Amino acid sequence: MKRIAIVLFIAMAGIGCLYAGGAAETTKSDTMKVALLLSGPANDQGWNAVAFAGLKAAEEKYGLETAYSEHVGIADGEAAFTDYASQGYDLVIGHGFQYGEPAVRVSNRFPNTKFMAIESNVYSDNAASYVMACEEAGYLMGMLAASMSKTGKIGMVGGFEQPSIVKVVEAYKLGAREVDPSIEVFEAYVGSFTDVALGKEAAIAMADRGADVLSHVANQAGTGVIKAAEERDLLATGDSYDQNSIAPDTVMCSTIYSVPMLVLNAVEKVKNGTYEGGVFYLGMKEGVIDIAPYNSFETIIPEEVKTMIADAKQAILDGSLDIPMIETPTGK
């Protein structure tokens, strides 16, 4: 695998309106066209919402023509990429690991269109994967969950058992066990990013076994985890987006993925002709990964816990703490 470390930059003022990339397969207008594929709804207050925010930010900044498709399943990815490329879109973005292989296959048929898959691990000359170090924030959520548990049992619900999800679940377990080596971590993969009922069912099963902090990395399905925690008067952590607003008395903190930075960076590279295939890795050091404020839990979470997490975050930033990227489930 080609691994390329890049530094994002957002100071893009002064870029001209002239598009310097390759021409797509149909006649172009002067307006750059960017499309986005989402696994669920754009307003899910989580994984898809942050990508949609990136699309809108790029549209506003560069005067783009944009389009997006919601609920694009694994089997539909190739057709969706093909449709947008055939319409002359300059850049087509698939927001999720599952879009990597379809993007590469379609890229071979449309060499002048640029393709991007977020959290995938494959590439071609004109298709890139942007991999976020989500495990860094997942580790911190594990530390928080273990610190706030009174039963010594916590739960993590994942969507599909794929590398982009597994790495967060595994890092969460490592963070929790750094705080309490004896902590019991329940884990489940529900096989969906959109089925809220499945997410809730998995979380309730964990609560029934004694878990008093519930976490997720399951996109829209993860809102079911938060609702289960809220109904059971338990604590929760959110994912991708500050999800405290979903349940202010339940969600202590959330992982934050700055997907808009990825989208803006990719758009600029297409505009100035520097977009290239590869697998690009970005994390806290590049400003792409963070955790949300504690919001309504600012005075509830003990100061020593907040200090411990802040110290761990700083250690990740300065390189003294390296969170491993484990993409295969390790079990209990």
What pLDDT does residue 197 have? 98
Three-class secondary structure of residue 165 per DSSP: helix
Same domain, 117 and 138: no
Same domain, 118 and 150: no
User: Who has greater pLDDT, 67 or 46?
Assistant: 67
- Is the residue at 330 inside a domain? no
- Is the residue at 324 inside a domain? no
Identify whether the C-beta of residue 227 lies closer than 8 Å to the C-beta of residue 236. Answer: no
Residue 148 backbone zone (phi > 0: left; psi -120 to 50: alpha; other: beta): alpha
**CA-atom Rg of the chain in angstroms:** 20
Three-class secondary structure of residue 94 per DSSP: strand
Same domain, 91 and 162: no
Tokens, residue 125: 């000359």
Three-class secondary structure of residue 238 per DSSP: strand
Return the percentage of the chain with pLDDT > 70, whole number.
Answer: 91
Nearest-5° Cα angle at 137, 124 to 128? 10
- Is the residue at 331 inside a domain? no
Domain boundary residue, one of 246, 269, 286 = 286
- Is the residue at 325 inside a domain? no
Same domain, 304 and 270: no
User: Who has greater pLDDT, 253 or 27?
Assistant: 253
What pLDDT does residue 7 have? 39
d(CA 86, CA 56): 22
Q: Does residue 112 carry a pLDDT above 80?
A: yes
Do the strands 251-257 and 289-291 form a parallel or antiparallel pair, or are they unpaired?
antiparallel
Residue range(s) defining the domain that contains residue 180: 134-256+294-318
d(CA 7, CA 282): 8
Nearest-5° Cα angle at 175, 330 to 220? 75
Helices (H), the chain: 47-62, 77-86, 100-107, 134-148, 163-179, 196-208, 222-231, 259-271, 303-318
What pLDDT does residue 30 have? 79
- Is the residue at 145 inside a domain? yes
First-to-last alpha carbon distance for the chain, in angstroms, is: 29
- Is the residue at 326 inside a domain? no
Find the mean pLDDT for residues 69-94. Answer: 97
Same domain, 184 and 299: yes
What pLDDT does residue 12 have? 35
Find the mean pLDDT for residues 63-87. Answer: 97
Identify whether the C-beta of residue 150 lies closer than 8 Å to the C-beta of residue 212. Answer: yes
| Segment (H or E) for 235 | strand 235-238
Same domain, 104 and 178: no
What pLDDT does residue 301 have? 98
Residue 29 pLDDT level (bands cut at 50, 70, 90):
low
Find the mean pLDDT for residues 62-82. Answer: 96
- Is the residue at 304 inside a domain? yes
Same domain, 157 and 51: no
Count structural domains, the chain. 2
Q: Does residue 310 carry a pLDDT above 50?
A: yes
Find the mean pLDDT for residues 283-291. Answer: 96
- What integer best gives the mean pLDDT of the chain? 91
Model's pTM, two decimal places? 0.86
Phi and psi angles of residue 187, each rounded to the nearest 5 degrees, phi first: -135, 150
Q: What is the pLDDT of residues 119-155, one digit of tens each?
A: 999 999 999 999 999 999 999 999 999 999 999 999 9
What pLDDT does residue 332 have? 65
Q: Does residue 324 carry a pLDDT above 60?
A: yes
Residue 331 pLDDT level (bands cut at 50, 70, 90):
confident
Q: Domain containing 110 — which CATH number? A: 3.40.50.2300
Same domain, 37 and 184: no
Residue 229 pLDDT level (bands cut at 50, 70, 90):
very high
Find the mean pLDDT for residues 65-75. Answer: 96
Q: Does residue 9 carry a pLDDT above 60?
A: no
Indicate the range of 17-26, 60-69, 192-201 predicted with least confidence.
17-26
Same domain, 183 and 308: yes
Same domain, 178 and 110: no
Same domain, 128 and 138: no
- Is the residue at 156 inside a domain? yes
Place of tokens 């307006």: 31
Same domain, 78 and 142: no
